[in-house]
Structure 1
Amino acid sequence: MTTYRFTQVDVFGTGPLSGNPLAVVHDAHGLTSEQMQAFARWTNLSETVFLLPATSPDADYRVRIFTPLEELPFAGHPTLGSAHAWLTAGGSPRHSSVVVQECGIGEIPIRVSPESLAFCAPPLSRSGAVDRGTLERILDALSLTSRDVVGSNWIANGPNWIGLLLHSAQAVLDLRPDFDALGDLEVAVIGPYAKGSAERRAGIDYELRAFVPGVGINEDPVTGSANAGMASWLIPAGKLPPKYSVRQGTVVGSDGRLRVECAQGQMWVGGAVRTVTSGTVEL
């Protein structure tokens, strides 16, 4: 067995232990894919990441991302959590305010500020209308009708997300999914808070939930990739403003907050990252 530096961080939280936890194994080039998957299964978090030397000359480091059941080419909260862990461990980016992460889908720029980190959303690998059979399966699993849905679209960007826009945030909060019926579908649902509501006065514009039972996590606490996909679909369509805030995790006991902004045609998704645990792990 070999000893590796280990960090566990909280991503998109509003306070202690309020976001999405992420396990990070540093300098993990001595591990096999099988060992990485076994450790991710053992942590039982939505994602566990392994920091590796970059293979691209333009990247600062490389990361491999695992759910308890599979490896992902990209995910949002692991991107910000990895950057935070890498910087905290002494990583020095080529550019002082931008970290470049290499992952399965390529290079992801990450803006660094004292208060938060923000990643640039990768292009959608699949977009467009959801076929009728798949949409009906989702509606049945969520106990929705077509009248409840403002719009639907593929928003895949690593994970194979399907996005739904509902009429209200409360409708999102009221969902009680049949996870067995969802199966391997990866579904994100967003809805707006009404103008003048307590949430709007507190700076929360939208509520989002993300369901991924097929990767071993029924509902993800806070999900960067789903929010990035929603922005890539709904901002150009004129259904979301170019700058807004999202709350996620309410139903599962988290209090995640994400800030989304479209700048010069690029979608940036950001939030706070905090170190919770640091030490070593033997693998």
Structure 2
Amino acid sequence: MIAKTKTRKFQQVDVFSSQSLSGNPLAVVMDADDLDTATMAKFANWTNLSETTFLLKPTVPNADYRVRIFTPQQELPFAGHPTLGSCHAWLSLGGKQGRTEVIQQCDVGLIRIKRDGDTLSFLAPNLLKAGPIDNEILKQIMDGLKLSPEMVVATSWVDNGPGWMALLLRSRDDVLNVHPDFRAISGLRVGIVAPCSEDIANVDFEVRAFTAAGFEDPVTGSLNAGLAKWLLSNNKAPSSYVAAQGTALGRAGRIHVRQEADDIWVGGNVTTCIEGVVAL
């Protein structure tokens, strides 16, 4: 049964950017406890953004709020830019402003989020799947991205919920020159990353993300969290670094990664672009 329509607070925010229109947009609907799954899915399909989130009261102790995350096609157990964007909206619309740490509940569990000035960072969740990619799937990816074996340094699963696989390439140019055949990699979530050998506005890595739905995601928190777990555990990245993403799409996303003991934090800026109410 579809819930009775009412007005709810709403924001559309830009994540991983300090300037509007440079990061990854997210729609956030507050006070969504009485919305059913079908209505949430329909609204997410209507916004046609990579993700739309719905904030609800938590159902477990210690959590500040609960979030449900939808793409236009499905619900996700976790995603990075929706985590930061949802926290930003929750704080700006009455959340506990004095807190330096917020606890978000989602389908993968409780996610810790830190506030440091204008930056929000989430604690990267454990990988649900790591290690080698099956040879048949890897060949499908290589063919779909038109990559030759000598361009690829390493490969691995980096799945923390959405199902990401990752390829480490030799150079930033190799990453930016990829022209994916989305039909060939249909149903797969693939990230590519490479170190920046030249000094490009204090950026250490260039990242791109190709979704299972057939488009390139501008800036992707979950992928970068998985990449950080992989790169840092294999000594392929320093303990603190900045990744750029969205360059190929005309965006300027910046993801800040830092390791503190065994914890890896993934963060960036969030900017409110649209604020008002939505009738759902």
TM-score under structure 1 normalisation?
Answer: 0.96
Cα distance in 2, alignment partners of residues 266 and 113 from structure 1: 16
Question: What residue is the counterpart of 1:114 in the other structure?
Answer: 117
Q: Is the 2:18–2:270 Cα contact (8 Å) retained in structure 1?
A: no
Question: What residue is the counterpart of 1:42 in the other structure?
Answer: 46
Cα distance in 2, alignment partners of residues 270 and 102 from structure 1: 18
Q: State the shift of 1:31 in Å.
A: 0.7
Cα distance in 2, alignment partners of residues 57 and 37 from structure 1: 27
> Which stretches of structure 1, 4 residues or more, deviate above 6 A after TM superposition?
none
Q: State the shift of 1:16 in Å.
A: 2.1
Cα distance in 2, alignment partners of residues 115 and 53 from structure 1: 25
Q: Is 1:211 the counterpart of 2:210 in the alignment?
A: yes
RMSD between aligned alpha carbons? 1.0
Amino acid at match of 1:275: T
What's the secondary structure of 2:45's corresponding residue? helix
1:149-189 deviations in Å (ceiling 9; x for gaps): 11000000011000110011110000000000010000000
Amino acid at match of 1:250: T
Question: What residue is the counterpart of 2:177 in the other structure?
Answer: 174
Match of 2:278 among 269, 276, 281: 281
Q: Is 1:25 the counterpart of 2:32 in the alignment?
A: no
What's the secondary structure of 1:272's corresponding residue? strand
Cα distance in 2, alignment partners of residues 57 and 145 from structure 1: 50
1:203-222 deviations in Å (ceiling 9; x for gaps): 1111000000x33x510000
Q: Is the 2:192–2:209 Cα contact (8 Å) retained in structure 1?
A: yes
Cα distance in 2, alignment partners of residues 14 and 179 from structure 1: 30
Cα distance in 1, alignment partners of residues 167 and 260 from structure 2: 24
Q: Equivalent residues in 2 for 1:30-179 (5 A)?
A: 30-92=34-96, 96-179=99-182
TM-score under structure 2 normalisation?
Answer: 0.97
Q: State the shift of 1:14 in Å.
A: 4.1
Q: Is the 2:66–2:104 Cα contact (8 Å) retained in structure 1?
A: yes
Cα distance in 2, alignment partners of residues 35 and 129 from structure 1: 38
Question: What residue is the counterpart of 1:16 in the other structure?
Answer: 20
